[in-house]
A and B are shown apart, each in its own frame.
Chain A
Amino acid sequence: MGKKILVLIVTLGLFATILAGCGGGQTPTPTTSSASPTPTPTSSKLTLAAILYGHANEGTWDPAGYQGLLKVQKEIPFELSLSEAVSSQDSEKAIRDWAARGTNIVFAHSDTYTDQLMTVAANFPNVSFIGEFGIDPAVKAGEPDQVKYLKANAPKNLVFLGDTPEEGNYLAGYAAALASKSGKIGILQPFESGTMNRYTNAFVFGAQAAKADIQILIVYVGDYLAPAETRDGIKSMAQQGADVIFTELDDNSSILECAAQNIQCIAMYVDKRDLDPKTVLTSVVQEWSVQLKSAIEAVQKGTWAEFRDKNFFQPQNLANGSVHLGAWGDAATEDLKKAVSAIEAKIKSGEIQVPMDDAKPLSTTP
């Protein structure tokens, strides 16, 4: 009998601990003081729920989105709730839960949640939904207008922010090629995909624009988070002479290994210069607050329909400040900064058009 009781207590204790600590945690349920079901709030504070694939203070991708929300919150007060570590399989439930609780805005920070957003948004017409997508807003000859199609078919309460930092990546490639003393640079990708290929190709185009004969190594480590493989990949590229590495990964191990190898690193998603100014040449920063602010403002002012009509898909670009290079590291010379600024001005003016190419990028070393 005693054994059975002990087993029961231990099992309940394990279960309780698992429930308390397992991922997918949610912050306390936001309260909405208004009973109004419309996406146009009255005088009560806006409520926004953010769905994150990882954790708000972990890595690079999710902190970029979270920091964007915090910046907007300073200008447009709203009550922020988070659902963290939400997998694609669980996302529909999480999105639906927040919508059902009367949250004014649900922001899903990943393009893996797109299908789920489309489904849930159709069921909650009085809630505003913000998703992300990496499609090319420009219409190419012979190809369908993806934005137009999506806009016509998506629910009227859903808009998308563009996950399109290619202009920033182009600048980063330009900077990397100019900064490289060996004439060889490297790229660390998690895996091949259309989005990742677009990011990388933009970097490659920028590098080749700076130095046509720049050699580029590319390593896929298999995941956004693979610290041992990341460090080994960087070590391997450094051993082959690469002295600037661009990393599109979700942790800091690449910066640490670049420091150990005494080479430069260009980070992505957030500004990582302060982590190691000697090693971080610069970062490609996705400033989500720019796009988020206009969408949240539209909900606040009750101008959602007009906003959606003009800004259904807001791409990231240098001109609107939604993507930019972060602070320069110690290794950046004045000449380098001037050269990159000049290119930046040309991109902003439209003189240089950064192509979005999702073909597999190829290493250029023989």
Chain B
Amino acid sequence: MTLDLIVNLIFATLNILPIYLIASLGGFLSQRVGVYDISMEGNMTFAAVMGIIGFFMADSPWLGLLMGFLSGAFFGLILATLAVKFNLDQIVIGFGLWFLGLGLASFFYKLYVPSDQHTEGFPTLAQLVGYKGELTGFARFLELDIIFYLSIVLLIVVSVVIYRTRLGLQMRATGENPSAADAAGVNIFRIRYFTILVGAGLVGVAGAYLAVAFLQGFTSGMVAGRGWIAFSIIIFGRWKPSNIFWGCLLFAGINGLQVRLQTIGVTIPSDLLTMAPYIVTIIALIIIMSRTGRSRVPSALGIPYYRE
């Protein structure tokens, strides 16, 4: 029974992991080049609606994800224009975009989303490879959908790009010391625009995935703070993709654990159990941020760059 519970918990965690991982990596990219993206919650909410609309355009969850990416990139374009070109306060822009996202989501939802119809999720790996056997033991990895595996690929790609490529070096330089990077010939503005667009697009993908695969529809409030959780995981992960991955695992795992503890009759008040993921995240943030040693915050994060 206990082993079954642990195994089920592991796969429940992996099942929900892509939502947090893709959103966190998207927000990480923006912050890595020195720009806060506070709008993640609104971005995800609007992308959720666009994901549903995209699905119903062609009965395709992939089109839903694409619409989510494009809507996220739209938010990224606004953020980049206001923060990078006009050097406006990034926090204020982020909050404005947050509310914009919520408003646009309600507006488009009422116009275009059919009520009481639901989307189809993504195929599992078992469906893709045609596996018909029982899903036990290691075969359970086949019950995860394709987006889980793509999110792991994304993690690897982001890590490789950031730490192993010239582009990644330019991105890091832009986020650490933009004047030096500019003097060395790096086009700060192009790097920031490109990275923010891609990052915000990924945040949109996470929102669309939540709607298309989990709720398989849209309801106001469905993102329920996941954008903020993803934002805090970036800080928890000290701006390092591998740490962000562990942060996402921790949060998703605690979330799954509190559900399972309830089903085995653990007599901890349910309110405490449902609070547990958020409490653990806060405690983890406090521990991480109070550690001595060199801070990994991108040195130019949140600081407007003025070319001399």
Contact = CB atoms under 8 A, between A and B. Distances in A.
B118 interface: yes
A275 B217 CA distance: 13
Contact of B82 (A10, A57, A221): A10
Interface stretch (A68-76, A226-234, A340-348): A226-234
Contacts of A57: 115
Nearest to B19: A228
Interface in A32-59: 54-55, 57-59
B259 A365 contact: no
A17 B259 contact: no
Contacts of B110: 55
A14 B103 CA distance: 10
A229 B16 CA distance: 9
List of 5 A-B pairs having minimum Cβ-Cβ separation, nearest first: A21-B103, A21-B107, A222-B274, A227-B215, A220-B270
Given A17-B103, A229-B255, 12 more contacts: A7-B82, A17-B104, A21-B108, A22-B103, A55-B220, A217-B263, A219-B263, A220-B274, A221-B274, A225-B224, A232-B12, A250-B219
Given A10-B82, A17-B100, A256 B265 contact: no
A69 B218 CA distance: 24
Nearest to A4: B86
A6 interface: yes
B103 A240 contact: no
A11 B105 CA distance: 19
Contacts of A14: 96-97, 100
A218 B265 CA distance: 8
Contacts of B259: 219, 221, 229, 232-233, 236
Nearest to B120: A256
B interface SS class: helix
Q: Which of A57, A59, A227 has the most CB of B within 10 A?
A: A227
A208 to B, nearest CB: 17
Interface string A214-256: 0001111111011111011101110110000000001111001
30 contacts: A7-B82, A10-B82, A18-B100, A20-B107, A21-B105, A21-B106, A21-B108, A22-B102, A23-B106, A54-B220, A57-B115, A85-B220, A186-B263, A191-B271, A219-B263, A225-B219, A226-B224, A227-B219, A228-B255, A229-B259, A232-B12, A232-B15, A232-B256, A233-B259, A239-B4, A240-B263, A251-B222, A256-B118, A363-B262, A363-B263
B216 A58 contact: no
B265 A228 contact: no
Interface in B233-282: 255-256, 259-260, 262-265, 269-271, 273-274
B214 interface: yes
A219 B100 contact: no
Contacts of B108: 21
B301 interface: no
Interface of B: 4, 8, 12, 15-16, 19, 78, 82, 86, 88, 96-97, 99-100, 102-108, 110, 115-116, 118, 210, 214-217, 219-222, 224, 255-256, 259-260, 262-265, 269-271, 273-274
A144 interface: no
A3 interface: yes
Contacts of B4: 239
Nearest to B102: A22
Contact of B273 (A17, A220, A235, A237): A220
Interface of A: 3, 6-7, 10-11, 14, 17-23, 25, 54-55, 57-59, 85, 186, 191-192, 217-223, 225-229, 231-233, 235-237, 239-240, 250-253, 256, 275, 363, 365-366
Contacts of A223: 221, 224
A26 B264 CA distance: 45
B267 to A, nearest CB: 8
B88 A7 contact: yes
Contacts of A222: 274
Contact of B8 (A85, A192, A217, A236): A236
A20 B103 CA distance: 7
A312 B224 CA distance: 37
Contacts of B97: 14
Contacts of B16: 228, 232
A75 B64 CA distance: 42
A3 B96 CA distance: 18
